[in-house]
Amino acid sequence: SPHGLRRPRIRGGNRSGGSNHISNKKLSKLLPLLGPPLIFLSLLWIGLQAGGPDNRMPMGVNDNRGSRLVVDPEEMMRREPPVMGRLRGKTIDTRQPPSVQKNHGAVEEIKGDTGDENAKLVENIPPNEKEDDKTPEEDDRVAPPPPPETPEETESNVDAIITPPKPKSEKTPKITTQQAAIVAAEVMTRSKSAPLPDKKVVSLYLEPRSALDESTRPLPPRRTSADLLERIDYLEIKSCADIPHRLPVNHLPDKDPFLPWIHDYFVSPDGHSVQFVAANKRRCETGEGKETVMAYLQAQVSLFQPLPVARVIPTSTNHSQKEEKAKNQYRLASPDDSDMIAAETRFQCRFHRNPGEEWITFSRFAFNYEYVIWRKRGNRPMFVEMGPDVDQVELSQLLFSCPIPDELKTAKSLGSASFWVDVIPIRTPTRKNSVLLSAHHTGPQYISQIRAFNSSKIYGKHHILPSPSDAGRWANLPVCLPNEPPPTSKPHLLTACTWASASYRRRGDEAFLFEDTAARLREWAYFHRLVGIDHIF
């Protein structure tokens, strides 16, 4: 030094005056060499952020402006290999048609399927941010804008556009919010104007007792119409699964004694008929002091008595509306009537499925009750006005079936049922001292010894049955066809059926209540199993 001062030693240096840092002079020599690599790395980093041709923004993710993207699954399927990643903890596969994401201001991390951090951060700017507020760097990172939209389909009225995999010749359908509202309104209008068939409700139509004139001979047609019927709905019965436990067994009204007391019904194994199980309600009201009730419920006994029915044949030759109406009219007949279509029946069965489709069939008894009584009791009448008839156990349970029309034997289920059936009883006075049997039942040697019922004299030939809509009936009983084919062999060799109640009172000794049914039933079943009965209902 010219002033005789020593130059200060730099900390960390060596004794020879060297240093471990780069001086400004040396740095100025290195900057020209490091400049091009730094610029290249900066441009590469900017290209990665903007999404180059090899690092595109994942399909289905919002762009930086927060706008909804138009997703094209065909374009996404052409990308090789498919990108697998995790979106907010959820695994996504870009090969499947994605949904439109709605992320506002959120940061999503996309990782590769190998788990490395080779993905990028995509920042979504809220959609309410203005376009002018973006910096040039942000504009470089945004995805290409969607195709220009027509004035009728701007972003304000297009909710979402998803392009399904379709041929290239077809155009992408765009459904606006207004169009969706119009379609929804049309669907609601159709549903109100045409209710679904599942809305049918099981109902009872009670016919007034005065509609049947029992004193006039021959029996005149009933004076009834739809406006004279009383309707009772049972809303708790909605499908076949509610049968039989929701049938009104314990609350059947007594106002119409001609209605059968139905306890159960089901489709036969072959699917050809609907089997009904009913009970004689009159047998529950017998004994001293019940004479008035027994007289009122004598119509229950008439349901066990078969009737012949014939179709009404029009007498006019011209094809008029009256002739067309007569095709669905029926009348009471005699056993030897040539126009008879049902020899032993008691109920009309009206099947229906869709509005305007209905079929009429006539019931069939499991056996002829009058014939059984005649074979068992001889000339003893079937109906005993004031008893005793407690020994006629065959009149306790009413069994009949309704044949299913051929058009419905292969009907598909409509939700709650395959179809519905109405049961309309044919109302006539109870036969008391005569039976409606022919030589076909008794044989020619006995027909002259019975008190035969003269149906031509009592009913005449002009007793036309009223329309099912004007008659008291069970309505809208749901029926479901069996799904399994009928069995080829019977499951049991010998079966028995019994009836039992938890408690009961004996007639004439009503002060004492018997409650030992469980023990007595166990003993009864054990005895019958010993003698060879292999199944008991």
Q: Which residue has the tokens 């995999």?
A: 165
Please check the confidence at residue 467 and state whether its pLDDT lies above 90: yes
Q: How far apart are CA 454 and CA 47, in angstroms?
A: 107
pLDDT band of residue 284 (cuts 50, 70, 90) is confident
Bridge partners (DSSP) of residue 358 are: 352
- pLDDT, tens digit (0-9, with 9 covering 90-100), for 82-93: 444 444 444 444
Average pLDDT over residues 128-145: 49
Asked whether 359 and 438 are in contact (CB, 8 A), the reply is no
User: What pLDDT does residue 179 have?
Assistant: 57
User: What pLDDT does residue 323 have?
Assistant: 54
User: What pLDDT does residue 122 have?
Assistant: 40
User: What pLDDT does residue 178 have?
Assistant: 55
Please check the confidence at residue 215 and state whether its pLDDT lies above 80: yes
**Residues in the chain, how many?**
537
Instruction: Name residues whose C-beta falls within 8 Å of residue 301's C-beta, 6 or more positions apart in sequence.
Output: 280, 282, 382, 383, 395, 430
Please check the confidence at residue 110 and state whether its pLDDT lies above 50: no
User: What pLDDT does residue 106 have?
Assistant: 40
Please check the confidence at residue 236 and state whether its pLDDT lies above 70: yes
- pLDDT, tens digit (0-9, with 9 covering 90-100), for 416-451: 799 999 999 999 999 988 899 988 888 888 888 888
Average pLDDT over residues 46-71: 50
Report percent pLDDT > 90 for the chain.
36
User: What pLDDT does residue 223 have?
Assistant: 92
Average pLDDT over residues 296-314: 93
Asked whether 31 and 96 are in contact (CB, 8 A), the reply is no
Please check the confidence at residue 24 and state whether its pLDDT lies above 70: no
* Least confident among 21-25, 259-263, 308-312: 21-25
- Phi and psi for 462 in degrees, rounded to 5? -130, 20
Average pLDDT over residues 132-160: 47
- pLDDT, tens digit (0-9, with 9 covering 90-100), for 326-361: 567 999 999 888 788 999 999 999 999 988 899 999
Its sign, for the CA torsion 102, 106, 112, 118, is positive
Q: How far apart are CA 262 and CA 248, in angstroms?
A: 8
pLDDT band of residue 97 (cuts 50, 70, 90) is very low
Q: How far apart are CA 383 and CA 431, in angstroms?
A: 7
Q: How far apart are CA 300 and CA 280, in angstroms?
A: 6
Q: How far apart are CA 471 and CA 331, in angstroms?
A: 14
User: What pLDDT does residue 367 have?
Assistant: 94
* Mean pLDDT, rounded, of the chain: 75
* Least confident among 78-87, 99-108, 253-262, 401-410: 99-108
> DSSP string covering 39-51, please?
HHHHHHHHHHHH-
